C-alpha cells in the first residue's frame, strides 16, 4: 500500500472534492483497460487454441496423405511447373528408381507409345497451360520399366505469385492391356501354337482375294494335313504335342512372306498373297509343297513329328474359286485326294496343274546339272526401229533344253532358279555366251545395234559384279558399248549412294543401262532423274490393252512423253498386233519388239532374218522408184 506523509494527506484533503470526480474517471479508465486486456488475452488464447487444432489437423492430413502415398497401389504425384516429380506415391517412386522419401525431384518419362519414340512432355505442358487438366493413356518408360497408365493431371489452386503445381493420379493398366491382348489372341489365334486360327485366316484370305487386280490376279491356298503313319487314315490325328512341334517345323520351312495358320486341329493352312503368286504359279506352288514334304521327310528321327506323314491340297484363284469359300472347298477336295495316297503326297485342285506340275526335287537336280554343264541356250529377239523399218538390236533370252521336258522358256523354271540362288550362275553363263556370240557376229558382219541382257537383282548386288563384267569383256576383247543391261526395279531397294556409284561404274565402262518393266512397279520420276539411266522398257501390262482401253493409251502416252523430257529412250515389248505398233509409234515410241515383228530365234537363224530384212527393204525401194 502506498504510504503518504501527513503533508500529503493534508494536501489531498484540501483537494478532496474536485479530486473525487477525477479519481472516478481514472478508475473507470483503469477498469476498461483491464477489461480490454482480458478480452485480448481471451482472444489470444482462443486463437492459439484454434491454431493448435489446425496444426494438429494439418499434421494429421499430412500423415494421412503420406500414408496414402505409401500404401496406394496407384500413381499419385505432385508435379512442379516443369512436370518434375516433387512428391509421389511409393509405387511411382519405385518405378522412377527413387528412394521412399517425401522430397524427390526427377523428370517424369511419359510417352505416347511403348517404344518410347513419342514423348508427351510438350503436349502435357501445352494442354495444362490452356485447359488446366489432361486425361489419357501414357507409357512410363525408363531403363528398368515400361508400364502403361491411365492418367489424370490437374492444376492445383494457389496464389498467383507462386509457381504452378499439378496433381497427378493414375492407374497402372499394363496388366489389363496384357489381359485384353490375351483375350483377343484367344479369339484370333490358336492357343497352343499362337498361329492365326481359322477365323483370322479366312478373313486374311478374303482380303487377299479382294486385293487382286490385273497385275496380280491370283492368290494360292495350301492345306497341310498330318497323319500319324503311312498307313493311317486322316482320322488318326496326332497328339497335341506332335502338332505343336510340327507347327514349329512348318514355321521354319515357310517364308515369313507367306501366311501360316492353324486351320483345324490337324490341318495347317498357307496363304500365298497376290504379289508372290505369279501368273505361272504352278512351279512355285509345287516347289513350296515339296520343300515342306522334304522338311518332314528329312526330319531328325528323334523329333516328335518324325513319324508324321503329310497330305497337301492346293488351290489357286480365280480358276479354283473366285471367293474364299470356293477356294477353300477346292483345296479341301484336293486334300482328300492327296490323303488317299499312302506316303507324303500333294494334289492340285486343277487337274491341268496337277498334270503339268513337275517334280520339284528332280527339277532342281536337273537345273544344277544343266547349269554346271552349260547346257542353257540363248535365243535372240530383234528390236525394230519403226521409222527406219530396220533391226536396231537384239535381246538375249534364256532357254533351257531340258533332257526330260524339252525346250523350256524362262517362266517355267526362273522362280525355282531365283529361289535357289542359281540365278547368279545363270546370269554369268548368259553373259559369257552373249560375249561369244557378239564376237562371232562382229567377225561375220551380222552385228546390229546393241545386245540387251537381263540382269537379275541378285547378280547386280554381288560385290564382284563389276569385276566379273570387266574381266569377261577383256577375255573376249569386246567393248561394253555393244551391250545394254536391263535392270529390274528391285535395284532401288539399295542405298542411294551405293546404287548411284554402281550405275556410274557401268556407265564409265560403256554399258547402256535401261530400267525394265517401267510403269509396273514403284519407280518414280525422281529416281529416273537422279540416277544415270539411258532408257526405260515399258511393262507388257501397259501395252496389252492400249487398243481397247483409252485410259491405257493415255497412261502410255504420258509415260513416253515424260521419258522424253528426261532424255530417256523408250522401248516397248510384247507387241502382238499392228495396231499396237502404230499407236506406240504415234505416241513417240520408235523402238519396239514382239511377235508382231519376230519371235526369239536361235543364233543360227539371225543371218536368215537379216537377209529377209534386206530383201524387204530392196523391194520397198524398187516400188518407190
Strand partners, 396: 380
Residues 397, 319: Cα–Cα separation, whole Å = 30
Q: Residue 219 falls within a domain, yes or no? A: yes
- Judge if 106 and 140 occupy the same domain: yes
What phi and psi values does residue 489 have, to the nearest 5 degrees? -65, -15
Residues 7, 14: Cα–Cα separation, whole Å = 11
- Does residue 421 have a cis bond before it (omega within 30 degrees)? no
Residue where a domain terminates, one of 357, 375, 402: 357
Distance of CA 585 to the CA centre of its chain: 40
> Which ranges in 405-535 belong to alpha helices (H)?
414-420, 422-444, 457-460, 465-476, 496-509, 525-530
Q: Which CATH number goes with the domain that contains 126?
A: 3.30.450.20
Q: Angle at the Cα of 541 (from 204 to 545), degrees rounded to 5?
A: 115
Q: Residue 254 falls within a domain, yes or no? A: yes
Which cell numbers in the block locate residue 601?
A: 530365234
- Judge if 544 and 412 occupy the same domain: yes
Please give the pLDDT value at position 160.
58
- Judge if 198 and 76 occupy the same domain: no
Q: Residue 117 falls within a domain, yes or no? A: yes
Q: Which CATH number goes with the domain that contains 347?
A: 3.30.70.270
- Judge if 386 and 333 occupy the same domain: no
Residue where a domain terminates, one of 178, 211, 236: 178
Residue where a domain terminates, one of 357, 392, 409: 357
Please give the pLDDT value at position 2.
46
Q: Residue 129 falls within a domain, yes or no? A: yes
Please give the pLDDT value at position 357.
54
- Judge if 388 and 531 occupy the same domain: yes
- Judge if 347 and 222 occupy the same domain: yes
Residues 265, 263: Cα–Cα separation, whole Å = 7
- Pairs from 491-497 (Cβ < 8 Å, separation ≥ 24): 491/457, 491/460, 492/522, 492/523, 492/527, 493/457, 494/461, 496/530
Please give the pLDDT value at position 10.
46
- Judge if 158 and 208 occupy the same domain: no
Residues 195, 250: Cα–Cα separation, whole Å = 11
Low-confidence ranges of the chain (pLDDT < 50): 1-4, 8-13, 15, 17, 99-100, 102, 231-235
Contact in structure between 361 and 416 (CB atoms under 8 Å)? no
Q: Residue 2 falls within a domain, yes or no? A: no
Please give the pLDDT value at position 353.
60
158: containing domain:
70-178
- Judge if 498 and 385 occupy the same domain: yes
Q: Residue 183 falls within a domain, yes or no? A: no
Q: Residue 171 falls within a domain, yes or no? A: yes
Query: Domain count of the chain?
Result: 3
Please give the pLDDT value at position 125.
86
CA-wise closest residue to 295 among 344, 262, 365: 344
Pairing verdict, β 309-316 and 267-272:
unpaired
- Judge if 156 and 241 occupy the same domain: no
- Residue keyed to cell 484367344: 186
Please give the pLDDT value at position 442.
92
Q: Residue 51 falls within a domain, yes or no? A: no
Pairing verdict, β 84-88 and 220-227:
unpaired
- Angstrom CA distances, 2 to 14, 166, 341, stand at 19, 69, 138
What predicted TM-score, i.e. pTM, was given to this entire model?
0.56
- Judge if 369 and 320 occupy the same domain: no
- Judge if 104 and 86 occupy the same domain: yes
- Judge if 580 and 526 occupy the same domain: yes
Q: Which CATH number goes with the domain that contains 444?
A: 3.20.20.450
Amino acid at each position: 500500500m502506498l504510504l503518504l506523509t501527513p503533508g500529503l494527506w493534508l494536501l489531498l484533503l484540501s483537494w478532496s472534492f474536485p479530486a473525487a470526480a477525477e479519481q472516478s474517471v481514472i478508475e473507470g479508465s483503469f477498469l476498461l483497460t483491464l477489461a480490454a486486456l482480458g478480452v485480448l488475452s481471451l482472444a489470444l488464447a482462443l486463437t492459439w487454441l484454434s491454431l493448435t487444432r489446425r496444426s494438429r489437423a494439418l499434421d494429421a492430413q499430412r500423415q494421412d496423405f503420406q500414408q496414402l502415398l505409401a500404401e496406394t497401389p496407384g500413381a499419385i504425384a505432385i508435379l512442379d511447373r516443369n512436370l518434375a516429380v516433387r512428391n509421389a506415391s511409393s509405387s511411382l517412386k519405385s518405378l522412377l528408381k527413387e528412394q521412399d522419401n517425401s522430397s524427390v525431384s526427377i523428370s517424369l518419362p511419359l510417352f505416347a507409345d511403348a517404344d518410347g519414340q513419342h514423348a508427351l512432355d510438350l503436349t502435357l505442358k501445352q494442354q495444362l497451360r490452356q485447359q488446366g487438366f489432361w486425361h489419357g493413356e501414357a507409357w512410363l518408360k525408363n531403363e528398368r520399366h515400361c508400364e502403361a497408365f491411365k492418367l489424370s493431371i490437374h492444376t492445383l489452386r494457389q496464389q498467383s505469385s507462386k509457381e504452378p503445381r499439378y496433381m497427378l493420379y493414375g492407374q497402372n493398366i499394363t496388366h489389363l492391356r496384357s489381359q485384353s491382348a490375351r483375350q483377343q489372341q484367344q479369339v484370333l489365334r490358336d492357343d497352343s501354337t499362337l498361329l492365326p486360327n481359322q477365323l483370322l485366316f479366312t478373313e486374311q484370305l478374303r482380303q487377299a482375294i479382294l486385293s487382286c487386280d490385273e497385275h496380280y490376279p491370283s492368290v494360292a491356298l495350301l492345306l497341310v494335313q498330318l497323319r500319324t503313319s503311312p498307313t493311317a487314315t486322316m482320322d488318326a490325328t496326332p497328339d497335341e504335342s506332335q502338332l505343336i512341334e510340327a507347327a514349329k517345323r512348318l514355321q521354319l520351312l515357310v517364308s515369313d512372306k507367306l501366311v501360316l495358320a492353324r486351320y483345324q486341329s490337324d490341318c495347317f493352312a498357307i496363304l500365298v498373297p497376290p504379289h508372290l503368286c505369279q501368273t505361272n504359279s504352278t512351279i512355285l506352288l509345287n516347289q513350296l509343297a515339296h520343300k515342306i514334304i522334304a522338311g518332314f521327310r528329312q526330319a531328325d528321327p528323334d523329333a516328335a513329328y518324325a513319324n508324321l506323314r503329310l497330305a497337301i491340297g492346293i488351290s489357286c484363284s480365280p480358276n479354283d474359286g473366285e471367293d474364299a469359300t470356293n477356294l477353300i472347298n477346292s483345296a479341301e477336295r484336293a486334300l482328300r485326294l492327296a490323303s488317299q495316297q499312302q506316303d507324303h503326297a500333294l494334289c492340285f485342285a486343277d487337274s491341268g496343274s496337277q498334270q503339268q506340275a513337275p517334280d520339284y526335287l528332280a527339277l532342281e537336280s536337273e537345273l544344277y546339272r544343266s547349269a554346271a554343264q552349260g547346257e542353257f541356250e540363248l535365243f535372240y529377239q530383234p528390236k525394230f526401229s519403226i521409222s527406219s523399218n530396220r533391226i536396231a538390236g537384239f535381246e538375249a533370252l534364256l532357254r533351257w533344253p531340258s533332257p526330260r521336258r524339252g525346250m523350256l522358256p524362262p517362266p517355267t523354271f526362273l522362280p525355282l532358279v531365283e529361289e535357289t540362288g542359281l540365278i547368279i550362275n545363270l546370269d554369268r553363263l548368259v553373259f559369257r555366251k552373249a560375249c561369244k556370240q557378239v564376237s562371232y557376229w562382229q567377225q561375220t558382219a551380222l552385228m546390229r545395234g546393241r545386245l540387251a541382257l537381263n540382269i537379275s537383282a541378285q547378280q547386280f548386288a554381288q560385290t564382284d559384279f563389276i569385276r566379273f563384267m570387266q574381266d569377261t569383256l577383256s577375255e573376249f576383247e569386246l567393248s561394253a558399248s555393244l551391250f545394254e543391261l536391263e535392270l529390274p526395279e528391285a535395284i532401288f531397294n539399295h542405298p542411294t549412294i551405293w546404287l548411284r556409284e554402281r550405275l556410274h561404274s557401268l556407265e564409265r565402262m560403256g554399258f547402256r543401262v535401261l530400267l525394265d518393266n517401267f510403269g509396273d512397279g514403284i519407280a518414280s520420276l525422281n529416281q529416273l532423274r537422279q540416277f544415270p539411266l539411258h532408257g526405260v522398257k515399258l511393262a507388257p501390262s501397259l501395252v496389252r490393252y492400249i487398243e481397247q482401253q483409252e485410259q491405257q493409251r493415255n497412261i502410255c502416252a504420258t509415260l513416253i512423253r515424260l521419258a522424253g523430257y528426261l532424255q530417256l529412250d523408250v522401248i516397248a515389248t510384247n507387241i502382238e498386233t499392228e495396231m499396237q505398233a502404230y499407236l506406240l509409234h504415234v505416241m513417240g515410241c520408235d523402238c519396239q519388239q514382239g511377235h508382231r515383228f519376230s519371235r526369239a530365234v536361235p543364233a543360227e537363224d539371225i543371218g536368215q532374218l537379216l537377209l529377209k530384212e534386206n530383201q524387204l527393204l530392196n523391194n520397198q525401194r524398187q516400188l518407190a522408184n
